[in-house]
Structure 1
Amino acid sequence: MTRIAALFPGQNSHSVGMGADVAATFLVAEAVYAQAEATLPGLRALIEQGPLEDLTLTANQQPALVAASVAAYRAWREATGLTPSFAAGHSLGEYSALVAAEALDLRDALRLTRRRGELMQAAVPVGIGAMSAVMGDPEVVRKVCAATPGVVQPANFNAPTQTVISGEKAAVDAAAAELKGRGLKAIPLKVSAPFHCSLMQRAQDALTPDLAATAFRAPGLPVYANVTATPNTDPSALPDLLARQITGSVRWVETIQALAADGADVFVEFGPGTVLTGLVKRILPDARTVNVGSAEQVRAFAL
């Protein structure tokens, strides 16, 4: 029997108009967009019409991606009658995964990700932090970060040879220079803040009460947490897992490996872009991957 892992993307998978054709084709997806607009007025117009600069802002992009991803997922469920066996999301995508697993109400996810985006953007003044994507052995990246003065940490373990580092700009630049000297490749990223590192502690502390006040339910399927790379079905653990995620590393390689070890044999990315399916192929070259982000892709899967 096929066991599907539902995957949900994080930031920088967005585009103006994302999911508009899904909402126009499937009533269940239209309901998601209507609920997003009722919860955060103006969000739907921003998703459908832009401008891209405003949609890209962290506080807008995070809830917008939740809406687009959940809309695609619900349309797929309705069209196919299928239910995944597991769910996981990359960073922000963990909120979409929890909505898919019915552990988190969509309205709460939209409010939390708007707040999360605002707090993460405000945590570090512009120009103080930086992030770089490093191509090479992740153990070398860990060691160089640990030995570099200042704040620089592995933020995302995205693929076997792709690790994103995050922290103070001077420390990130110094670590990148050392890594290049060791034969690794380091590419500065255009980001608005240094995510998934200890500089985000203020954002984590500020979001913790909001998470604690949220009514989480037991997930209807295991959701693999970013900070542990293990499945969770305990609703009482979710506030802490989501809070720790803000400063913790996204352990995506381990997550995909754990999903495969637990029996996932098809990985379906719901929402805009193909980032996660690309990463899955780098982690598990023989894995079957599918993208579901448009009405045509929903129909193709249903056939």
Structure 2
Amino acid sequence: MITYVFPGQGSQSKGMGGTLFDEFKELTAEADVILGYSIKELCLEDVDLNLSQTQYTQPALYVVNALSYLKRIEETGIKPDFVAGHSLGEYNALFAAGAFDFATGLKLVQKRGELMSHATGSGMAAVIGLNEEQIADVLKQNNLQSIDIANYNSPTQIVISGLKTDIEHAQPIFEGIKDVKMFVTLKTSGAFHSRYMEGAKREFETFINSFEFFQLAIPVISNVHARPYKQSDIKQNIVEQITHPVKWTESIRYLMGLGEMEFKEIGSGKVLTGLVQRIKREAEPLVIKSAEKQVQNVLPSCLGSSEFKKDYNLTYAYVTGGMYRGVASKEIVVKMGKAGMLGFFGTGGLNLSQIEDAIQYIQKELLAGEAYGMNLLHNPNNPEMEEKTIDLYINYGVKNVEAAAFINVTPSLVKYRVKGLKKNEQGKVITSNKIIAKLSRPEVAQAFLSPAPAQILAKLVSENKITQEEADLSTQIPMADDICVEADSGGHTDGGVAYALTPAVIKLRDDMMEKYQYNKKVRIGAAGGIGTPQAAAAAFILGADFIVTGSINQCTVEAATSDAVKDLLQEMNVQDTEYAPAGDMFELGAKVQVLKKGLFFSARANKLFELYRQYNSLNEIDEKTKKQIQERYFKRSFEEVYNDVKAFYPAQEIEKAERNPKHKMALIFRWYFGYSSRLALSGSTESKVDFQIHCGPALGSFNQWVRGTTLENWQERHVDEIALKLMHETAELLDQRFNTFLSA
């Protein structure tokens, strides 16, 4: 595990930040506007010698630490497991964890530095050589109770705070003690982290009341408690920190007690690196016994497969699925990537230009190696479109694809999978393109757990679409890196039961791993019905390496559907869905799950399918039924619909329809599915009852879970905040359950 630590006041130096200000010009400009002066000039030149003054020091360190963190993420793509900061540095830890954005953190730090700089007549000193108990005894025996311990930097390096006269009086006393190696008066403007900061604390508490904080994406170790922050205590902790001692030694010991831990100092100087090394030499790891347990053992970042998170550069084993027609929008994908999770853009029903625009937007927004992916919905009626989409992904370097609704492996998928295959120095096959196959049938899982079919490989080689070397190497890897087991869900669904399906696919995975002796384990994820912590916890207990949500994400601000649809979804409950034919697989009888409450779409779509099964042409249908369909369902004649169909489908489809009346009827009926989707996406009032809204019961349970909270209104729902809340409360729930079992 890795912990990033951020230094505080005292680590500043002229020249800090270097080229970072030019590398992050937009943030540097934003800082200049907030502060009212050039942060670059202050840090690099310090002409007016302001860098040592608290009101300037704290914002300068915050900016340099923050830019250093962003640079580290950009270079390595690795997010830490934990973060901690010493005093001022704790704001950088909170920034790294996502509690607030860069600008908000800077405003907080600017105010903090300003208030703390007002303190006069007080100071600080470092005592080196004595431990905590010895210093407390010296203060008590010499009637120096007006002095507080401010920083527990290491077991034998402790900082005291008090009035300057008292600090001066204490110096000869401490220097006269045999074990004291050094007494150093610090160059600070006040007695930080002591009772003498009470005025600053009160003003700061008033100041931060107007601020709201986001869900923490990474555990932050508190200076006040030397334990991970609780979400509800962010404001209280940063207020209390002003007058409370910095428990740095205990914080590092706590992190050491969690297991093998590597510490990386981010920002200006190497002060904390030295302190961590000293603590490791002088103190034992702090292992919290369950009887004394103050924080949860199950952390949200620990749920799921660590290898899955590492492969995709994620903080959480959480994925948002690609909902059709871009409902899973580019904004959702970017939000998820920036929050340390993986989002897939929903490409089903979109043209190549729309897909390309989304790729360009996502790649422009995610420049620091954050994860993202593109959905590929199986298109049996138009394999050419499927291949063109794959070519687009390859050309743009899209590395993660969610393969959905496939019933077998297709040439386009094989082409994507094997492109760029090579061996590393150990002789293992390295993949360039990852596939997460979303499926609900064991026989489909078996196809994706097998190597690419030999006949497809041979054809692709003969067409010069892949090399022979790539084809040969592909025999050593499965078609998918990961399998997402999709139980009953919104959109395309087989109505599978998670409790039966997931264990069956896990067993199949294990058997296929044994059969083919793959070097890398195929991970199994879970989707369908996940809208509450209880459902997510059940998925992880079943053995899911990651979870995928869908329905709950389309009732968020970022989802690319209409406000009218979101208003309907916000009011649904678990029983308010129905199955209807899938428009893209109408003739096959495939099903989608849709919203039923207040809508006629599912009844009308099922009626059309029954007519298709019963009759061989439109002419065989009775006149009353034909009139009902044209006037109530379509709002136009069959002839008008067929004109639209001819403009949409390729010539060979229309030729087939002219020869085959049943196929013509199918194309006309399929028009209704596209029409109903467009109505919903636009929020058209033309015929609200015909809205086609793909949705599963998970959203109904989610609505019940958040009822009475700020998330009850969809306008307050943001996809990343929902994901973080779900993962955090899932971890808390599992922690409670495990402790209940242990107690019993």
Same fold (TM over 0.5): yes
Instruction: Compute the displacement of 1:108 (Å).
Output: 1.5
The one-character-per-residue Cα deviations of 1:114-149 (angstroms, maximum 9, x if unpaired) are 111111111x32xx2121110122211122234434
The one-character-per-residue Cα deviations of 1:74-104 (angstroms, maximum 9, x if unpaired) are 1111111101000000000011110011112
For residues 201 and 113 of structure 2, the distance between their equivalents in structure 1, rounded to whole angstroms, comes to: 11
Instruction: Compute the displacement of 1:264 (Å).
Output: 5.4
Please name the residue that 1:179 is paired with: 174
| Match status 1:198 vs 2:195 | yes
Please name the residue that 2:135 is paired with: 141
Which piece of structure 1 moves more, 88-97 or 134-143? 134-143
The one-character-per-residue Cα deviations of 1:225-274 (angstroms, maximum 9, x if unpaired) are 1111111141x211111111111101110011111112352111111101
Q: Which has the larger radius of gyration?
A: 2
| Match status 1:5 vs 2:3 | yes
For residues 112 and 264 of structure 1, the distance between their equivalents in structure 2, rounded to whole angstroms, comes to: 34
For residues 251 and 118 of structure 1, the distance between their equivalents in structure 2, rounded to whole angstroms, comes to: 24
Please name the residue that 1:301 is paired with: none
For residues 260 and 18 of structure 2, the distance between their equivalents in structure 1, rounded to whole angstroms, comes to: 30
CA contact 1:227–1:244 (8 Å) conserved in 2: yes
For residues 239 and 144 of structure 1, the distance between their equivalents in structure 2, rounded to whole angstroms, comes to: 34
Please name the residue that 1:116 is paired with: 112
Which piece of structure 1 moves more, 172-181 or 266-275? 172-181
| Match status 1:189 vs 2:183 | no
Query: Any stretches of 5+ residues in structure 1 without a counterpart?
Result: 287-303
Indicate how the Cα distance of structure 1 residues 163 and 107 shifts in structure 2: closer, same or farther if over 3 A, else same: same
For residues 173 and 81 of structure 2, the distance between their equivalents in structure 1, rounded to whole angstroms, comes to: 42
**1:232 aligns to what SS in structure 2?**
coil
TM-score, with normalisation over the residues of structure 2? 0.36
277, 280, 287: which is aligned to 2:276? 280
Instruction: Compute the displacement of 1:163 (Å).
Output: 0.4
| Match status 1:166 vs 2:149 | no
**Amino acid in the other structure paired with 1:142:** A
The one-character-per-residue Cα deviations of 1:14-53 (angstroms, maximum 9, x if unpaired) are 12332132343x4xx3333232123223142322332262
For residues 178 and 49 of structure 1, the distance between their equivalents in structure 2, rounded to whole angstroms, comes to: 40
Which piece of structure 1 moves more, 65-74 or 43-52? 43-52
**1:157 aligns to what SS in structure 2?**
strand
256, 259, 264: which is aligned to 1:260? 256
| Match status 1:219 vs 2:216 | yes
For residues 160 and 199 of structure 1, the distance between their equivalents in structure 2, rounded to whole angstroms, comes to: 24
Greater than 6 Å deviation, 4+ residue runs: none
Matches within 5 A, 1:48-197: 48-51=44-47, 53-122=49-118, 124-125=119-120, 128-135=121-128, 136-147=130-141, 148-149=143-144, 151-183=146-178, 184=180, 185-197=182-194
The one-character-per-residue Cα deviations of 1:147-169 (angstroms, maximum 9, x if unpaired) are 43452011111111100111012
Question: Could you tell me the percent identity over the aligned residues?
Answer: 36
Please name the residue that 1:18 is paired with: 16
Alignment: residue pair count? 278
CA contact 2:2–2:261 (8 Å) conserved in 1: yes
CA contact 1:151–1:198 (8 Å) conserved in 2: no
For residues 227 and 260 of structure 2, the distance between their equivalents in structure 1, rounded to whole angstroms, comes to: 14
CA contact 2:54–2:188 (8 Å) conserved in 1: no
For residues 101 and 166 of structure 1, the distance between their equivalents in structure 2, rounded to whole angstroms, comes to: 30
Please name the residue that 1:30 is paired with: 25
Indicate how the Cα distance of structure 1 residues 285 and 34 shifts in structure 2: closer, same or farther if over 3 A, else same: farther
RMSD (Å) for aligned C-alpha atoms:
1.9
**Amino acid in the other structure paired with 1:130:** G
Query: Any stretches of 5+ residues in structure 2 without a counterpart?
Result: 283-744
The one-character-per-residue Cα deviations of 1:207-240 (angstroms, maximum 9, x if unpaired) are 0012222111121011011111111141x21111
CA contact 1:16–1:51 (8 Å) conserved in 2: no
For residues 194 and 65 of structure 1, the distance between their equivalents in structure 2, rounded to whole angstroms, comes to: 19
CA contact 1:43–1:64 (8 Å) conserved in 2: no
**Amino acid in the other structure paired with 2:221:** Y
CA contact 2:6–2:86 (8 Å) conserved in 1: yes
| Match status 1:232 vs 2:229 | yes
Indicate how the Cα distance of structure 1 residues 132 and 30 shifts in structure 2: closer, same or farther if over 3 A, else same: same
| Match status 1:270 vs 2:266 | yes
**1:12 aligns to what SS in structure 2?**
coil
Please name the residue that 1:293 is paired with: none
For residues 230 and 31 of structure 2, the distance between their equivalents in structure 1, rounded to whole angstroms, comes to: 26
**Amino acid in the other structure paired with 1:179:** F
For residues 67 and 21 of structure 1, the distance between their equivalents in structure 2, rounded to whole angstroms, comes to: 13
For residues 30 and 21 of structure 1, the distance between their equivalents in structure 2, rounded to whole angstroms, comes to: 10
**1:20 aligns to what SS in structure 2?**
coil
Indicate how the Cα distance of structure 1 residues 107 and 20 shifts in structure 2: closer, same or farther if over 3 A, else same: same
**Amino acid in the other structure paired with 1:281:** Q
